[in-house]
């Protein structure tokens, strides 16, 4: 973190409120920053080190970089093991904004036109995570899940049928 960011995090503003409030404030703070593809290795190494502590900056950075039209970035992120990390974070249910960031990463990965990327997401159990996300009260999380379900459903008839058989349509409508 840059010194200005550390000062904000260490300031009294972050001493008020619950840990979830602090995480949400960090998400809002980092969402205002611009990130470059060159930062991806640093963000990914945050998660692949000995300590897999949640790094809000890395989550937001990966999500924002994945919004790039450069599809090679998706391959890089997939090759570097972000999907299992995002799944792990989602299972820990840190906060709605952290979950939204994770689902947004999944959504961005699901936009790939490489069928292997969709197959990897499906193999890792993303469809069940997306379906359970539809049950949450947060509309933004539901939107991310719906878009990702849509993207994965067009990739194969099997995936589409899986979502239909699991009752996705009534939950979406």
Q: What is the pLDDT of residue 8?
A: 40
Distance CA 117, CA 126 (A): 12
Is the pLDDT at 17 greater than 50? The verdict is yes
Q: Which of 90, 109, 106 lies closest to 98, judged by CA?
A: 90
pLDDT, average across residues 47-54: 54
Is a pLDDT exceeding 80 seen at residue 47?
A: no
pTM score of the predicted model: 0.82
- Between 155 and 38, residue with greater pLDDT: 38
What is the average pLDDT across 135-157?
A: 92
Mean pLDDT check: name the lowest of 6-10, 114-118, 136-140: 6-10
Query: 147: pLDDT confidence band, cut at 50, 70 and 90?
Result: very high
The per-residue pLDDT for 16 is 57
User: What is the reported pLDDT for 6?
Assistant: 39
Q: How confident is the model at residue 171 (pLDDT cuts 50, 70, 90)?
A: confident
pLDDT band at 120, cuts 50/70/90? very high
- Angle at alpha carbon of residue 73, lines to 69 and 78, rounded to 5°: 130
Residue 10 pLDDT > 60: no
Q: Where are the alpha helices (DSSP H) in the chain?
A: 3-10, 19-31, 40-48, 56-66, 72-79, 82-92, 96-110, 115-123, 126-133, 139-153, 157-165, 168-172
pLDDT at 51: 46
Distance CA 37, CA 92 (A): 27
What is the token pair recorded at 57?
A: 């900056």
| Model pLDDT, residue 3 | 40
Structure-model confidence comparison of residues 82 and 4, the more confident one: 82
Q: Which of 169, 71, 153 is nearest to 118 (CA)?
A: 153
């Amino acid at each position: 973190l840059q010194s200005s960011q550390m000062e904000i995090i260490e300031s009294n503003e972050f001493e008020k409120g619950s840990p979830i409030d602090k995480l949400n404030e960090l998400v809002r703070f980092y969402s205002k920053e611009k990130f470059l593809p060159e930062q991806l290795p640093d963000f990914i190494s945050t998660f692949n080190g000995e300590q897999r502590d949640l790094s809000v900056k890395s989550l937001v950075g990966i999500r924002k970089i994945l919004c790039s039209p450069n599809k090679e970035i998706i391959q890089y992120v997939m090759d570097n093991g972000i999907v299992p990390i995002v799944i792990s974070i989602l299972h820990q249910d840190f906060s709605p904004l952290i979950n939204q960031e994770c689902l947004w990463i999944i959504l961005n990965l699901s936009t790939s036109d490489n069928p292997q990327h969709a197959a990897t997401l499906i193999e890792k159990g993303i469809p069940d995570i997306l379906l359970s996300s539809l049950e949450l009260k947060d509309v933004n999380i539901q939107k991310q899940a719906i878009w990702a379900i849509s993207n994965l459903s067009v990739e194969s008839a099997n995936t589409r049928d899986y979502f239909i058989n699991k009752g996705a349509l009534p939950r979406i409508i």
